[in-house]
Structure formats: C-alpha cells, structure tokens
Amino acid sequence: MSAGTSGRKTHADIPIDDHYTQETLDRLGWEAARDLGEPGVAPFTRGVQRTMYRGRLWTMRQYAGFGDARESNQRYRYLLAQGQTGLSVAFDLPTQMGRDSDHPLARGEVGKVGVAIASLEDMHTLLDQLPLDEVSTSMTINATAATLLALYIAVADARGVTRARLSGTIQNDVLKEYIARGTYIYPPRPSMRLVTDVFSFCRTETPKWNTISISGYHIREAGADAVQEVAFTLADGIAYVEAAIAVGLAVDEFAPRLAFFFNGHNNFLEEVAKFRAARRLWSKIMSERFGAKDPKSLALRFHTQTAGVTLQAQQPLVNVARVTVQALAAVMGGTQSLHTNSFDEALGLPTEEAARIALRTQQVLAYESGVADFVDPLAGSYVVEAMTTEVERRAAELIARLDEQGGMVAAIERGWPQREIERRAYEHQQAVERKERIVVGVNEFRVDGPEPKPQRIDPRLEEEQVARLRALRARRDGAAATAALAAVATAAREDRNLMPPILDAVKAFGTVGEIADALRSVFGEHRPASTL
C-alpha cells in the first residue's frame, strides 16, 4: 500500500506497512470528508443505520436443519426459547437440487446436511407452532428457491397469515452455485429468469420479503480471498440488477429488497475493512452505474456467517475462539444479522450443547462486551481506513475485469471466476503446508488425544421420510397435481412468471422434485465448463 512495508501480508496478499499514519491514507487518495461520511448516509462506509446497534441489535439467526421436518422444527423451537431472534433453514442436498427424498440419486443424502422438504405437508410440519407473522425466516436455497418460497407462502395462506406480513430472506443466488458450490439445476440464463420472476412476484405479494441474498459466503468457502469475495459477490449483484432491469423492473422498485451474505473469517482487521469496503463500493455501483435514487437501493444490507472452512476437527474446542474472533469482526464491520458456527461442525451436525454455545457467543458480544454501544467503533483508524480503501480498490479492479468479459454470467460460462478461486485455494493450502500460515492444532501446536463423538442422523429418518412422501402421492388428487405440474411447464415455455403456477402446484401437493422435473423438461440441465 505504501513504502516501508513490513514484509507481512494479509490473507488477501495486501502488504502490511511498518506503521500507518495520515500520510498512508493520503497516498491512497483517501479524503475523510468524501469517503468516510456519517453512519446511515451514502456511501454507508460506517453502516446502513444511523444508530446501528444502539437502536437495534443485529438479528441472531442460527442456521439449522437436519433429518426430517419434525426434528428440525424441534430445534427451531429450542433455539427461539434460548433467545434466538430469527430462523435460518438449512435444506438437504436432494431438496437443494430438485430431487424428492425417494429419488435414486437422493439415497443416503436425505436429511444429512439439512432438512428434507419434498411437499407442502413437510413444510407444514417444519413450521408447526412458529409465528410466521412475527418471526423473520431465512431460507438457504437457490436452484429450487422459487418452489420453497411458494411452500412457505402456501403455509401462511393456509393459516390465514397475510402475505404482506411475511418477512425474511430467500437466498435465491444461483450464480454463486456455478462459481463455487455446485447445487445448480438449469443453465445460467433460465435460472436467472427464475430469480427475476421471484423479484416481480414478491414486489406486490410479499413486500417485506428479501427476494435474494447475494452470497459471498460460499465463494469464500471455496477458497476465495477477501478481495475476491467482495468483487465476485458484487459482480453477481450487478448481474441480478441488470437482469431485473432487462425484464422491465425499475431499479428502485426491487433494489431496496436486495440483501447480501458474507463470510466472517479469521483475519480480523482485514475482515472489518472488507465489510466497510463492500458497502461503499455497492453504494457507488448502484448510484453511478444504475442511477438508483432511493437511499435504500444504495445501502448494502448483509448477513454474516462465521467461516465453516476454518473449523478444525483437531482440538475442536479451539473453534470457539475462532468463531468469537470472526463474529466480533462481523459486528465491528456492521452486519445486520449473524450466525455463529458450532465448535463441533468439523466433525458432524451440531449437538444441542454446541449450538447453544454458538448462540451464547453472540449474546456475550451483544450484552457483555460493550461493542454494541458504539457506531462503527474502528472508524478513523489509520489501519482500518487504509485497508478499507485498498480492498475497495482491488475489488473494483476485479469487477472491471469481469465487465471486460461481458459480465459475470458470460465469465461463468467460460469458467474464469471458478479458475481464479481454485488458484487462490491452492495457494492457501501451499502456505499452510509450508507453515507460512499457521493453523492452530493442525500444522502447529498439535496434541494427541480423543476427540468428541459427532452427532449422527438416524438412518431410519430417511426410510420414514420416503414412506410419508409415497403415502402423500397415493392420497393426493393425482389429476389435480398432474394438471398443476403441466401448467408449470407451459408457463416456462410461454415465458410467463413462474411463481403463480408453482404456488398452485405446491398447493395441489406437487413435490419439489416434480416441479423441478417440469422445469427440467423445458430448461434442460446445466453442464459446467471445464476449468482445468
């Protein structure tokens, strides 16, 4: 960043100066009056609310879901009783990839990394006794996002909860699936249509619902560094805004409901700077590139989850310290909601005790540490402001490189961001193996001894889930379900908004896999470009 570097670098390879002064900031072109600003005012470097946590604490939204709908419902009710302030639903891989629990490809994966949801019956069980008009719900689902949102709305309709009172977020960020995670179904362009159909539907039907959570989390988990996380996430955001405008939506009609999802990693000051840089850069993008006028369109609101990839199976209790550092960085960086990982997640699904400790970590930060009493408490720090400016500059350069390739969708089709992430992941692993980067308990400070036993999913849960699904198909009105599924395929061919026919299909007890198959019959399936 300037002369006199110490030879050290951050995790994103940003050189670290011997010391930081006002001269450091001047060399970076930083002008406090222009760039730093006030909290709650564009470009939102210091936070999206004027009073931040002094007005309202971040939402404590612990991600959970495993086994069947009944077991997951019990965990949600337990977490709410422990003081959690929002729900966050994890779905199993078959649900994420549009396969019912009795599909041959689902065998052995039902309920393993999240809850198995195949039908409206499952969703009713999942949400049993949960106050949908009072609690905010986040659903981490992408390729089948429209269907899962339809299931949630159908439950609310059946209970008489008005759609206008539903609040929460559906991830609905399919681009990062092609970049980093892999739970896509259809090719990118029809998948983008599903995303914008949700935007259009929710604008009038569920105005308090966040229609997308543009996710850098999984990009970071795949091996990206902090700069790549910001750049690729915001580039995905640009692609979604462009797609929405292309189908006739005005930017200020949908942009206020966009939300983001970032990773909380170990390099504390770089992470704080990352969050602040992302806010500032997004505000400029929305104002200068898209001409947004509504201040809410310019404000980057985000959820943070601590970094799963940093959790270690060796000495797993040390993960409590890692999670605390990561959560503190997210709070100091101004997150709107937060999930703290459980210490035993490198071994298996979290136990109740581990999940409780993870939530208590947030509560200690909120109620005992004092950090919530200050708005952007690190503002003006030479180090933090220099790092914020440098992360922003480097991320903007990466976005410009994507623009030169025709934008993120075109770059994904060529495999460029995938290769860049793979390169950084390889470089990180080399640094760990050479002990240039220390991982406590893994390549240094190791001990021998027994480790805690992980929680396992009872295999009978899969058998019971499959039996329930088959019984549902046997007793539903088969003709009505078949007609509703055919209507989904017809709407896909005719380029009509897909949310209304999908909602009709789930109410006719069409399953997640059947709806996905109806769309597969029109859209086909994605085959990724080789990145070798």
Name the pairing type of β-strands 302-306 and 212-215.
Answer: unpaired
- Residue type, position 388, single letter: T
- CA distances 205 to 368, 390, 475, Å, are 40, 41, 31
Joined tokens for residue 439: 């991982």
Whether 511 maps to a domain, the answer reads: no
Residue with tokens 């069409």: 510
Q: Residue-wise pLDDT tens for the chain (532 aa)? A: 444 566 889 999 999 998 898 888 888 776 643 568 899 999 999 999 999 999 999 999 888 888 899 999 998 998 899 988 888 899 999 999 999 999 999 999 999 989 999 999 999 999 999 999 999 999 999 999 999 999 999 999 999 999 999 999 999 999 999 999 899 999 999 999 999 999 999 999 999 999 999 999 999 999 999 999 999 999 999 999 999 999 999 999 999 999 999 999 999 999 999 999 999 999 999 999 999 999 999 999 999 999 999 999 999 999 999 999 999 999 999 999 999 999 999 998 888 899 999 999 999 999 999 999 999 999 999 999 999 999 999 999 999 999 999 999 999 989 999 999 999 999 999 999 999 999 999 999 999 877 666 667 788 899 999 999 999 999 999 999 999 999 999 999 998 999 999 999 999 999 999 999 999 999 999 988 665 5
Q: Is residue 441 part of a domain?
A: no
Region for 8 from its dihedrals, namely left if φ exceeds 0, alpha if ψ lies in -120 to 50, beta otherwise = beta
Q: Where are the alpha helices (DSSP H) in 415-453?
A: 416-433
Residue 157: domain span: 5-433
Residues forming beta bridges with residue 416, ordered by sequence position: none
Tally of CB atoms within 10 A around 478: 12
CA 272 to chain centre: 18
DSSP letter, residue 354? H
Is residue 527 situated within a structural domain? Answer: no
The CATH code of the domain that includes 195 is 3.20.20.240
Is residue 116 within 8 Å of residue 101, measured between CB atoms? Answer: yes
**Which one, of 276, 275, 297, 296, lies nearest residue 286 by Cα?**
297
Q: d(Cα 92, Cα 96) in Å, to the nearest integer?
A: 6
Q: How far is the CA of 315 from the CAs of 214, 343, 499, in angstroms?
A: 33, 10, 47
Q: Is residue 336 part of a domain?
A: yes
pTM across the whole model: 0.91
**Residue 81 corresponds to which amino acid?**
A
- The answer to the question of residue 429 being in a domain is yes
Run of H or E including 94: helix 93-96
Q: Are 303 and 338 in contact (CB under 8 A)?
A: yes
d(CA 195, CA 509): 23
Other C-beta atoms within 10 Å of 522: how many?
15
Strands 15-17 and 5-9: antiparallel
Using an 8 Å Cβ cutoff, are 338 and 58 in contact?
yes
Question: Helix-strand-coil percent breakdown of the chain, rounded to 5?
Answer: 55, 10, 35
Helical segments of 446-477, H only: 460-475
Find out whether 462 and 111 touch, Cβ atoms under 8 Å: yes
HEC string for 217-247: HHHHHCCCCHHHHHHHHHHHHHHHHHHHHHC
* Residue 201 belongs to a domain: yes
What totals of helices (H) and strands (E) does the chain contain, helices first? 21, 11
Is 409 a domain residue? yes
- For residue 486, being part of any structural domain is answered with no
412 Cα distance to chain centroid: 19
Number of domains in the chain: 1
